[in-house]
A and B are shown apart, each in its own frame.
Chain A
Amino acid sequence: MASPLADVAEWIEQGLPGALATADEHGQPELCRVWGARLLADQQTIEFVVLRSAAERTLRNLGRKARGSLNIVAPSTYRSFQFKGWVTPQETVDLDFCLHQLDRIDLALAKVGLPPNGGRITVAQCALVMGDSLPDPSWQPEYVALRLAVESTYDQAPKPGAGARLS
């Protein structure tokens, strides 16, 4: 039987912004912006990257493995899904994929009025103290790859009945 996630695989990989929510031991939620995601071959796991400097608390909450919720949204159409399950930090990151996705996120954000390189500037703002211009193009921040083993999926497009569970 086909995975319910297969239907959204192409949509996820077009390069869309998103956020991961985790919680600490006191129940305080913690958000972290997500830069690039893809559905792995098992059709059950989403791999995505976060910026280490912006994700310290998230990574502390996750430890070796913890539950989390991932929201991905298309800025120009408001189509949005939430995926819930166990999140595991990875030891390596596919930087080429990450940068490719960041280029596509830049395009998606520019369509809704953000400046060119809006995603890259945001990344740099999280990792550096800087003005309005991008740092040297050769500069790269440290990314961390995370994997979410999806247990449930929710349709979160803004409409009556938003948040309905899909799988």
Chain B
Amino acid sequence: MRPLREIDGCFQGVIPGYLATVSAEGETNVTSISVVRLLGPTRVGLSCQFMNKSLNNLKTTGLAQVLLLCPVTLREFQLDLRYVGAISGGPVFERVDAQVSAAAAQSSMEDVFRLESVLECEVLDWRKTGTQEPQVADTGHAIDSLQLLDSVAQAIQSATDLEALLDATLHAVDEHLGLAHGFFLMAESDGQRFYNLASRGFDTPSFGAEIALGEGMYGTCAERRVAVRSGSLSRDRLMSQAVARASGQIERRLPLPGLEAAESSLAIPVTAKDICLGVLCFQSERPAAFTDEHELMLSIVARHLAAMMNLLDPSQRPALELSGRRGRLGGRALATRVKFFESDGSVFLDENYVIKGTAGRILWSVLRTYVGESREDFSNKEIRLDPSIGLPAIKDNLEARLIALRKRLDERAAGIRIDKTSRGRFRLEVDRELVLEARD
């Protein structure tokens, strides 16, 4: 039997397959199947949801066939299977469950689309449907994966602060692994929310955009601490758009970075011990763009990243040298109305949403001081002590928050800028008059 890796694209869950089983009496049963995952050289796992007859047949006769389409070439393949057993826990179950949950989370159907088990099957034989392809010898990879990983690791290790670390990681993954569209979601100190701190390859970087733990595929990745892949985002979008239309919900928040025609996405948790520090997220316009190999390589990258994040954590080591101070912005000919909503900490500049949550409260606090006291220089310490911001006493992630806020302000070209001036200090630079307005 030829290696199943040759048809890796079929196992990305892009196009649902069909599963046929047969009863002891010889009666066939056919159903759609959402996930067929490669478990090993001759094993696959089938997602078991809402299966009654098929499962009974598998337990009784053990024989099955799946029909799969490669989303890239649209070649069709048949796999003859023999049922081995049901897996209802452990790493294999967790990975498939995360994939199913992430897709379901797009339409808030997590409770309905629950994975019951993964049906492990031995592949007895597989073949392309219809006309057979001429057999082509596997020429192997042109470049050694280890060599590529080493290049990424070197780039990661050269970083001297968190901002440079994340930028270097996304740059190196683009340069060496060819994944051009990526961003990093940083965990809040309580681990319940994640915000965009670094972004590469998107028209709109959306720094500061937030998601909740368990929300969508990236939130699911953080919650489960397992890699989550989708090879067919347009299918997920169809479902979520339908739900959004039905609910009539309009959310006041910044969307995550995203390719307009994204078809594939891969989310990798960045964990240290049992703590999720963040999520590395990648997108592609090609269906099934991310393979098992990508997942494995990026999981190794994520481990390096986690180690470096801990190493560079300002609470665990002396601060590094600081960036130089920039010059002042231009004149103050313009006036900007700043609206702050106390309920969620969101800040709008001239009716345009900027940021919310903790970063929004920090921005509002410094803008109030700037206007009220005509003061431009601030210390991290006073931000930490400001009760209106509500930072936690331990592990407040303030430095990362300030990076996100600074990037977001730069992205918005809002006429307001934050510059780091020395260790634990920053300056607010504003090129216009500000009119502040607080609302509940």
- Residues of chain A touching chain B, judged by Cβ–Cβ distance below 8 Å, are 19-23, 27-33, 51, 53-54, 67-71, 73, 75-76, 78, 80, 82, 84, 111-115, 118, 121-122, 125-129, 132, 156, 158-163
Contacts and interface: CB of A to CB of B under 8 A. Distances in A.
B26 A160 contact: no
Contacts of B51: 162-163
Contacts of A33: 67, 76, 129
Contacts of A161: 50
A27 B76 contact: no
How extensive is the interface on chain B, given as a class? 35 or more
Contacts of A156: 31-32
B24 to A, nearest CB: 9
B13 interface: no
Given A21-B20, A160-B112, A67 B32 contact: no
A33 B76 CA distance: 9
Given A27-B22, A31-B66, A112-B238, 11 more contacts: A21-B18, A27-B61, A29-B20, A30-B20, A33-B67, A82-B29, A113-B287, A126-B131, A129-B131, A158-B32, A160-B112
Given A28-B63, A112-B232, A126-B129, A70 B26 contact: no
25 contacts: A20-B30, A21-B29, A22-B28, A28-B80, A29-B20, A30-B78, A31-B30, A53-B130, A54-B129, A67-B28, A69-B27, A71-B18, A71-B31, A71-B32, A80-B32, A84-B28, A114-B71, A114-B74, A126-B76, A127-B130, A132-B73, A158-B49, A159-B50, A162-B51, A163-B51
Contacts of B133: 129
A113 B264 CA distance: 11
B27 A67 contact: yes
A126 B78 CA distance: 12
Interface string B109-146: 00011000000000000000111111000000000000
Given A29-B64, A113-B263, A159-B50, A82 B30 contact: yes
A132 B14 CA distance: 18
A23 to B, nearest CB: 5
B53 interface: yes
B421 interface: no
Contact of A69 (B28, B78, B113): B28
Contacts of A22: 28
B21 interface: yes
Interface centre among B14, B112, B238 (most CB of A within 10 A): B238
Nearest to B27: A67
B11 to A, nearest CB: 17
Interface centre among B30, B75, B76 (most CB of A within 10 A): B30
Which 10 pairs show the lowest CB-CB distances between chains A and B?
A113-B234, A126-B130, A21-B20, A162-B50, A29-B20, A21-B30, A21-B28, A19-B18, A53-B130, A31-B67
A113 B32 CA distance: 18
A69 B15 CA distance: 21
A interface SS class: mixed
A67 to B, nearest CB: 7
Contacts of B5: none
Contacts of A127: 130-131
Contacts of B66: 31
Nearest to A23: B22
Nearest to B81: A29
B28 A68 contact: yes
A35 to B, nearest CB: 12
B69 interface: yes
A111 B234 CA distance: 8
A113 B233 CA distance: 8
Contacts of B132: 129
Contact of A54 (B64, B113, B130, B233): B130
B294 interface: no
B28 A51 contact: no
B52 interface: yes
B325 interface: no
B76 A125 contact: yes
Contact of B26 (A67, A126, A128, A159): A67
A54 B130 CA distance: 4
A158 B404 CA distance: 41
B366 to A, nearest CB: 44
Nearest to B65: A29
Given A31-B20, A125-B74, A158 B113 contact: yes
Contacts of A31: 18, 20, 30, 65-67, 78
A129 B20 CA distance: 26
Interface in B155-171: none
A128 B30 contact: no
A122 B132 CA distance: 14
Interface in B55-87: 61, 63-67, 69, 71, 73-76, 78, 80
Contacts of A23: 22, 26, 28
Given A69-B29, A125-B73, A125-B76, A53 B64 contact: no
Interface centre among B49, B52, B74, B75 (most CB of A within 10 A): B74
Nearest to B238: A76
Given A31-B20, A158-B49, A19 B67 contact: yes
Nearest to B68: A31
Contacts of B61: 27
Nearest to B287: A113
